[in-house]
Structure 1
Amino acid sequence: MIRLRYCLILLLTLVTAGCASFKAPVYSPDYQVLDSLKNKPLVSVSVAPVEPKDPEAKVNKISLRAASLSTEQGTFSAYFEQSMIQDLTEMGIYQPSSNVQIKATLIENDIDISSFSKGYGKMVVDLEIHKSSVLTFSKQYTGLTQFESSFAGAVAIPKAQSEYPYLVRELLKQIYSDPEFIKELSK
């Protein structure tokens, strides 16, 4: 009898979760990484709108089982852009009028909770640096995360939602920790 109740509750949870849309939490920087860059002599940079801007692009849609994840910014590209601007501002090098511009294109963006006990995040971005409109740097970066999940959608979906900023943070950490990226922005 208890097993039947559990199965009915689980089924009800999965069905109702399928109708829901969840918002990605606000991004918060990895201050340890940012603090390590604050001491380096870096040039001021601007950030171009991250591509793709189309809300219908595959990377701007994340499905969490039957639910969907979205952002306050409207697209995951814009979420990534705002996160990077927040970090660069914290480092003291963001300047919208700078002739050194970071351009990024989101290639992959997913949170996978199809496993019964683990969740996985993957984000891939092509990043370029342009100095006075001349391409001087181009590299692809990948951020990967893994987290505890559950068979129960009522547990797995909110957990995946809360993990999204950590995925973005992990990708940005890969960028900011790259000696080639640092060298390109050094004075």
Structure 2
Amino acid sequence: MPDLRRLVFIAPIVTLAACSVTASPYSASVDNIQTLKNASPVAARLGTFTNDPADGGHTSVQLRANRMRSPVGDSFAQYLSGAVQQELAIAGALSPDAKVELSGVLLKNNIDASVGTASGTVSARFVVTRGAEVRYDSVKTATTHWDSAFAAAIAIPRATQEYPLVVQKLLASLYADPAFMKAIQ
């Protein structure tokens, strides 16, 4: 009988430990949009955003015993593409008829929900082309840190909320690059 009680107690915990969570949807950064508007006139169309298969394909991110998945499509490259599209559209810089195309490769996508201090790092290669000419090719990386709790019930939701902020920071570094702005003008 004691084994049955132990099983009844442990089974729900094991089940919860293997849950999948979804990253928070991306919200465009007001600062990023303003940076794009200030650089006007800029215009680009979106190309393909892919995952670097050498770094695990970026279909999910390990958060302690959980897996965080993208709320957009089936990968975090699509999440990044959606974030860029959202900000360019709001800034009036997205045009399907633009002569330049912005594409990207998600190189690193990591959230570490450690006890004490958690961190997130996102890295991507951004490429701007005009016809067959590459006008811009650069890797941008963003890292951020935040306080994290011991309890997974607090730390995991906090990590999913911090993820869009890391992506905002990544895009801010892209838009702050004068060579990028010149490439999409």
Question: Under TM normalisation by the shorter chain, which class is it?
Answer: 0.7 to 0.9
Task: Measure, in 1, the Cα distance between the counterparts of 2:126 and 2:80.
Answer: 12
Identical aligned pairs, as a percentage?
27
The answer as to whether partners of 2:141 and 2:170 remain within 8 angstroms in 1 is: yes
Give how far 1:161 is off: 1.1
Q: Helix, strand or coil: the match of 1:109? A: strand
Task: Measure, in 2, the Cα distance between the counterparts of 1:123 and 1:109.
Answer: 5
Which residue of 2 is the match for residue 82 of structure 1? Answer: 82
The answer as to whether partners of 2:35 and 2:175 remain within 8 angstroms in 1 is: no
Give a deviation string over 1:55-76, Cα, whole Å, max 9, x none: x943222010110101222210
Count the aligned residue pairs: 174
What residue ranges of structure 2 are gaps of 5+ in the alignment? 1-9
Correspondences of 1:21-32 after superposition (within 5 Å): 21-32=20-31
Give how far 1:110 is off: 0.7
Which residue of 2 is the match for residue 93 of structure 1? Answer: 93
RMSD across aligned C-alpha pairs, in angstroms?
2.2
Could you tell which deviates more after superposition, 69-78 or 118-127?
A: 69-78
Task: Measure, in 1, the Cα distance between the counterparts of 2:171 and 2:35.
Answer: 14
Give how far 1:53 is off: 8.5
Give how far 1:136 is off: 1.4
Which residue of 2 is the match for residue 5 of structure 1? Answer: none
Q: Helix, strand or coil: the match of 1:182? A: helix
Which residue of 2 is the match for residue 71 of structure 1? Answer: 70
Give how far 1:171 is off: 0.5
The answer as to whether partners of 1:99 and 1:133 remain within 8 angstroms in 2 is: no
Task: Measure, in 1, the Cα distance between the counterparts of 2:47 and 2:145.
Answer: 30
Q: Is 1:127 paired with 2:135? A: no
Q: Is 1:118 paired with 2:134? A: no
Task: Measure, in 1, the Cα distance between the counterparts of 2:91 and 2:163.
Answer: 22
Q: Helix, strand or coil: the match of 1:125? A: strand
Q: Helix, strand or coil: the match of 1:28? A: coil
What TM-score does the superposition give when structure 2 sets the normalisation length?
0.85
Give how far 1:47 is off: 1.1
Q: Helix, strand or coil: the match of 1:126? A: strand
The answer as to whether partners of 2:118 and 2:145 remain within 8 angstroms in 1 is: yes
The answer as to whether partners of 1:130 and 1:136 remain within 8 angstroms in 2 is: yes
Give how far 1:98 is off: 2.1
Give how far 1:97 is off: 3.2
Which residue of 1 is the match for residue 146 of structure 2? Answer: 147
Task: Measure, in 2, the Cα distance between the counterparts of 1:96 and 1:57.
Answer: 31
What residue ranges of structure 1 are gaps of 5+ in the alignment? 1-10
What TM-score does the superposition give when structure 1 sets the normalisation length?
0.85
